[in-house]
Structure 1
């Protein structure tokens, strides 16, 4: 049957008197549709015909669209609310403390850019049950109050964000602690001479003030991390890859690892950064170097593509970081911490230099150290915003010279090598000049000077039995050819300056590493390295620095003797 409205020009083909099927009674005004589109519209309003039935899907579609709109609005609100909750949650994790201007202020460069200096502190505090379990020592005292800054690193980010320097200050350094008062505990001091790490007992601001006073470097911010914080951070990044040069078992920190590479998480990571008897010479100086290796690996992990592009990893890292850190008010929000992370991320790993403050033996206590030769130059280099790497990312001449001076067959650090320098020339002060050049490169502060028994035409370095390696280290630092070394009958190293070396700190034509460049002096004896050195292994101590079952032994011997104890990363 044809549609009643299929006539030409919309005209009906039936009589006007014909009733349209389903047509309603005439309107009250007596008007009737006369056909065409008007009649169709009237019929649609009357609810009759196929057009009326087609209107229902339109209404359903509108209802569906409206429902979708409501759902989208709810989703936007929920998502925004979740983001806001997450932001507030992270902000709520952060514990911040005012510095009260204790660290001085940075100066802007010619372009108005300002460097950033942060004191990173690792606390030894057992101020919670978690830290008591990790650090030990609470069996008699229980949860303790107060803590020391056993790790102290000045992190300098240059004004142009092109380079950075990380300088460790050994915890055993003796210095003057200024008058301080902890704003939280109320504990105060009028100032004293003591071990630098003890200043934290009077609050983080006091530790900052002490480091600022010692180095002259303005400290803008601080970040404090406790035992459990190290565990949380290493877990959040999925572990940190490190390498050890030999089997090692530090019976004090409990670190036990076989020779080679390892990925450390949780407690194992904490044992590694706490180990002071496992590496180097078994002192806190050796520990700073292994900590630099650990931090370099962590920085590389942060910068790796998989870490900061994985939303779950980013959340875990942000949550762990904000829970683990105590910071100053200037870093007391997620936005400010993100800004700091962005600044650090701008610096290439090859231009992040790690150093350790040069030290000398404390004349009043063999277990303590004092600021050594070269340290003041390192301080001023950082304070003056000078880079320790070249624009290409290669080590500066200073860092390269230090590496060459210490890369010998001997395991004895330059800091343990003392030289008696004798003047065999007619030039006044020659012995003092050369002695200063040695100590500026990290040789022992026990290096002494004297006049030679008689004038000498040629310069010679005489060494005692078993001290040839030490003599080579000293000769390389001064550019002295091997033909000028000879074994003597007495102990120690004696350098006689001859008339063939009338001036300068490097032997003529010898390629001395003792040039007067400031950056060279800055890193002399500072164990400089850069964060891109992924293949560097922590040097296990060759000395008997640990004890097992009452017997002193090397960390490698202890590893062999403790076969039944599982490795830290097992």
Structure 2
């Protein structure tokens, strides 16, 4: 609409046709705003007054100001409206999240000590539920008889992000791992599930009050502090896989995961690389019949391959820079995820995602807990599983690259002179017990005898209850005994970095740890060597390796 129609429907006439030019007031201008100061009506050489010149100069500025005022008003309205809509959508996304208590058990592992920069590692338990208690989930897998039964945690992975955020480790635990389950209290019903006397499959922990009991089980088994959990069911995997837009996976032959008895996920792929999404992605993640030996171990390897590929895809494509795709992913993810109450807002999830994307794919290591078969089930492999959990507790990278990236503690000889070996009183204690295995019997007496043979005749075993100590350590109560403690360490080949002052002991105390369960010579190994020994190379993948293909089990090709 023109300005003339606003002001009495006047039609602008050109000057010079018998009609005087329009006044400024007729065009909506207020002349009083531009009155000259006294004495400002002198004419210039062209007969124009100073006032008219000023009016001519000010009119464009005034027009610009009015336009700016209108524009600012419109922008303010849009900003307020958009912010309001954004806030409402943010609340909507928060409302999508299903939250629960982090740990439902009695035993809670304290947070690890921060590093020199004040950083702590992050441990997140990823849980895949086999719930069939919705139409969507039942359609995607399982039998009608499963409806109403308690869900099982058929996928369990511990994601460890290093304190300095340089590397990430992902460790799967087979669903049929046997362990004693801790006491858990259902936060909704108040029902208390007593600790089990016999060993049960670890996936049944989810049915004992929810994911918080699975967290409690992991902390009991590994003695690792878990910061958060994330849980997703069948339909959640499908919706998130659709939102991501496809993840490349590879098989070394045509595969169809379906046998004559109807067992299998239904996955059907041609040899080579295929980008899977939606229901096909779920089939890949669930496939056991058709991969390698048809076990849960093979399924875990396929899941690691999918996760590694997904990380690479998200890093290289524009999913997170496209507003529509980002909104879709946010909607799908918040509807699909169950999280602990420490991740109860989208902002917290966003902040966490920024932390998780910091390690480069080449510094991401995925593996499966070392295990041995016990009948049709599995149990943690003694020593190897403990070594793996210790590496995570000590925040040591599983790719063995910490030697180049981190400064190792140096052995420094004390200025305090040591007493004669035969005059040093040493108490030896058994600390070989772990969260999953009993103490090695007689270790305190065996090592005390070895010390006596070295001339430390006052070394005596402590017959008290065994301790839990990951690594062998020698503690002393005050600086005047530091030299004595180091003399004991040198005699057995224990590194001086394992000698520490502590008010918890009354004299030089040697605690034989889980790293020294046999023999009288302390085993010599570095953290990087430990990392290599603890991992099964067949079950370990690097996040940057896109050359691997799943081996297809004979009988499932087409």
| TM-score, normalisation: structure 1 | 0.63
Bigger Cα displacement from structure 2, 210-219 vs 61-70:
61-70
Structure-to-structure mapping, 1:413-428, within 5 angstroms:
none
Matched-pair contact (CA < 8 Å) for 1:255–1:271 = yes
> Which structure 2 residues correspond to residues 24-423 of structure 1 after superposition, within 5 A?
37-38=40-41, 63-100=66-103, 102=105, 103-107=108-112, 108-138=114-144, 140=145, 143-192=147-196, 193-202=199-208, 203-251=210-258, 252-362=264-374, 366-373=375-382, 374-391=384-401
* Cα 1:333–1:247 shift into 2, 3 Å: same
Other-structure match for 2:556: 555
Asked if the contact 1:358–1:525 (Cα under 8 Å) also holds between the matched residues in 2, the reply is no
Counterpart mapping for 1:407-556 below 5 A: 517-524=529-536, 527-542=539-554, 554-556=555-557
SS in 2 for 1:122: strand
How far does the alpha carbon of each residue in 1:400-420 deviate from its partner, in whole angstroms, 9 at most, with x for none? xxxxxxxxxxxxxxxxxxxxx
8 Å contact from structure 2 (residues 402, 528) kept in 1: no
* CA–CA separation in structure 2 for the residues paired with 1:82 and 1:289: 43
Q: 1:516 to 1:228 in 2, by over 3 A?
A: closer
| Change in 2 beyond 3 A, CA 1:113/1:526 | farther
In 2, the alpha carbon distance for the partners of 1:290 and 1:281 equals: 12
Question: Matched residue pairs, number?
Answer: 387
Per-residue deviation, 1:390: 4.3
Aligned CA RMSD, in angstroms, stands at: 3.3
Question: How far 1:187 moved relative to its partner?
Answer: 4.4
Q: 3-state DSSP class of the match of 1:242?
A: strand
Asked whether the 8 Å contact 1:247–1:258 carries over to 2, the reply is yes
CA contact (8 A) 1:356 1:526 kept: no
Could you tell me whether the CA contact under 8 Å between 2:367 and 2:536 is conserved in 1? no
Q: 1:22 to 1:73 in 2, by over 3 A?
A: closer
In the alignment, which residue of structure 2 is the partner of 1:446?
none
CA contact (8 A) 2:125 2:228 kept: yes
Q: Which runs of 5+ in 2 are unaligned?
A: 1-19, 24-35, 44-50, 259-263, 405-520
Change (3 A) 1:255 1:75: same
| Contact preservation (8 Å) 1:233, 1:324 | yes
- 1:145 deviates by 4.6
Equivalent position SS for 1:387: coil
**Structure 1 residues 219 and 54, CA gap change in structure 2 (3 angstroms):** closer
Post-superposition offset of 1:116: 0.5
Report the Cα distance in structure 2 between the residues aligned to 1:226 and 1:211, rounded to whole angstroms.
20
Q: Distance in 2 between matches of 1:135 and 1:303?
A: 31
Q: Once the two structures are superposed, what CA deviation does each residue of 1:324-360 show, in whole Å capped at 9, x if it has no partner? A: 1111111221121112111111101011100101111
CA distance in 2, matches of 1:124, 1:316: 24
Unaligned runs of 5+ in 1: 1-19, 24-32, 41-47, 395-503, 505-512, 543-553, 561-570
SS in structure 2 at match of 1:125:
coil
Instruction: Quote the Cα distance in structure 2 between the aligned partners of 1:171 and 1:206.
Output: 15
Secondary structure, counterpart of 1:555 in structure 2: coil
Q: Is the 8 A contact 2:170 2:365 kept in 1?
A: yes
**CA positional deviation for 1:518:** 1.2
